[in-house]
A = this chain, B = another copy of it.
C-alpha cells in the first residue's frame, strides 16, 4: 500500500496537536488586570514554545522518514499509530507544565517528569519505527537503505537525552524543561546528519 493516506493522517494529527496547544494560553476573566496577568503567565508561553518546537521538529524528522518509505505495510502503520499516540498527547503535559512548572517542590517535579516522560515515549516510538524499517529494508527506497542505521541511532540519541531529562526532573525540574527545549533546537539545526543525505538520495531531487 502506498503511504499517501498514512501521511494524511499523520499530518492531520500534527496540525491539530500543534493548534490545540493554543487552548492553554492564558485566558483571564473580564475582571482581570490583563497586562499584569499576561506578564506573569510566562511559563505558559515557555511551555507553548517548547511543545510547538518539539512537535514541529518531530514532524520534520517524520517527514524525512516517510520520504524514504516506498510502501507501508500494516505492521508499519501500527507502529506509526503508536507514534501518533505519543504526539497527539503532547498538549496534555504542556498544560500541566504551564500550570505547575513554576510552582516549587513536588508539583513542578511531577509536571517535569510527566512532560519529559511523554517526549521520551515519543522518542522510543520513533526509534521503533526506524528499527522496523531496518529489519524490513524492502519497504524502503533502494538508495536510502544505507542510512537506516544512522537514522535509528540519531533517534536513539534523542531518546537517551529525554531519559536524562526525566532523571534531572526529579532534582531540578526547570533544567528538565530546558533540556527538552534545547533538544528541539538541536534537532532543528543538526541537519547535516545521515537522514538528510538519505532522503536526498532516495528522492533523487533537491
Which A residues fall within an 8 A CB radius of B? 1-2, 5-9, 11-23, 25, 27-30, 32-35, 38, 48, 52, 56, 59-60, 63, 66-67, 71, 73-74, 77-78, 81, 84-85, 88-89, 91-92, 95-96, 99-100, 103, 106-107, 109-111, 114, 188, 191, 196, 199, 203, 205-206
**Which residues of B sit under 8 angstroms from A15, Cβ to Cβ?**
9, 11-13, 15-16
CB pair A199–B1 under 8 Å, yes or no, is yes
- Secondary structure type dominating chain A contacts: helix
Q: Which residue of B lies closest to A200 (CB)?
A: B1
Counting every copy of the chain, the complex holds 4
C-alpha gap A17/B75 in the complex (Å): 22
**Which residues of B sit under 8 angstroms from A81, Cβ to Cβ?**
56, 59-60
CB pair A89–B22 under 8 Å, yes or no, is yes
**Which residues of B sit under 8 angstroms from A77, Cβ to Cβ?**
60, 63
Q: Which residue of B lies closest to A138 (CB)?
A: B206
Beyond A5-B66, A206-B71, whether A19 also contacts B20 by CB under 8 A is yes
The contact of A110 among B27, B38, B71, by CB within 8 Å, is B38
C-alpha gap A32/B134 in the complex (Å): 45
CB pair B206–A106 under 8 Å, yes or no, is no
Q: List 9 additional A-B contacts (Cβ < 8 Å) besides A2-B203, A8-B8, A20-B23.
A: A1-B199, A1-B205, A11-B12, A19-B20, A21-B88, A27-B96, A34-B111, A35-B110, A60-B74
CB pair B100–A78 under 8 Å, yes or no, is no
**Which residues of B sit under 8 angstroms from A67, Cβ to Cβ?**
1
CB pair A14–B11 under 8 Å, yes or no, is no
A80 CB to nearest chain B CB (Å): 9
CB pair B9–A88 under 8 Å, yes or no, is no
CB pair A78–B60 under 8 Å, yes or no, is yes
Beyond A19-B17, A34-B110, whether A11 also contacts B1 by CB under 8 A is no
**Which residues of B sit under 8 angstroms from A11, Cβ to Cβ?**
5, 8-9, 12, 15
CB pair B13–A18 under 8 Å, yes or no, is yes
